[in-house]
Amino acid sequence: MNNTDRKTMDIYLKDYVIPQLRLLDFRGSFPHFRRITGTKVNLLTFQFDLHGGGFVIEIANCIVDKTTLLWEDRIPVKRLTAHDLYTRKRIQSNMKTNSSLTEDWFRYDKKHLLGFGNIYLKVCKDVLSKFDLMKEYWDNGYINEQHDYTK
């Protein structure tokens, strides 16, 4: 997998997926996004395969101004990412499994398996097809709250 494929995937995500996040009032810069809704923060982070060719999306919720991490450092909401929280949901191409093997992630290196056409656009459409699942989690999923580790 060469670096050009990753750069191309980034461009497609920024052109097709990120505008849809913006319509949902998400702010931030690639790969980390957040939305404040009342007292809750919804988070989304793209996590890429170290070996290239794929990514997974991590989403999470937390209470504004009440997120304390295990190491007891406070992170300003503007810098908070899904990776900073313990409880989060993983969104991947294959949502029929509880495992999260990289082969279940959104893959743009399997061009021969997905037939003809633009693989990057197909991956973006797959991501967009998961938006209802993400919205459901942001609305009703687990909310990370403040933890007091001094007791």
pLDDT band at 99 (very low <50, low <70, confident <90, very high): confident
Ranges of beta strands (E only) in 64-149 are 89-91, 106-107
The per-residue pLDDT for 76 is 78
Nearest-CA neighbor of 107 among 44, 56, 59?
Answer: 56
CA distance 120 to 107: 9
- Helix ranges (DSSP H) in the chain: 3-12, 18-23, 119-129, 131-140
pLDDT band at 66 (very low <50, low <70, confident <90, very high): low
For residue 104, pLDDT beyond 80: yes
pTM for the model stands at 0.88
Highest mean pLDDT: which of 21-30, 84-93, 116-125? 21-30
The pLDDT mean for the chain works out to 87
Mean per-residue pLDDT, 26-30: 97
**In the chain, % of residues over pLDDT 90:** 62
Higher pLDDT, 149 or 53: 53
Higher pLDDT, 99 or 48: 48
Q: In whole angstroms, how far apart are CA 43 and each of 58, 101, 120, 124, 132?
A: 8, 22, 23, 19, 15
The per-residue pLDDT for 90 is 96
For residue 116, pLDDT beyond 90: no
pLDDT band at 71 (very low <50, low <70, confident <90, very high): low
The per-residue pLDDT for 150 is 35
The per-residue pLDDT for 120 is 95
Left if phi > 0, otherwise alpha if psi is -120 to 50, otherwise beta: which for 95? alpha
Answer yes or no: are the C-beta atoms of 108 and 118 closer than 8 Å.
Answer: no
CA distance 54 to 124: 12
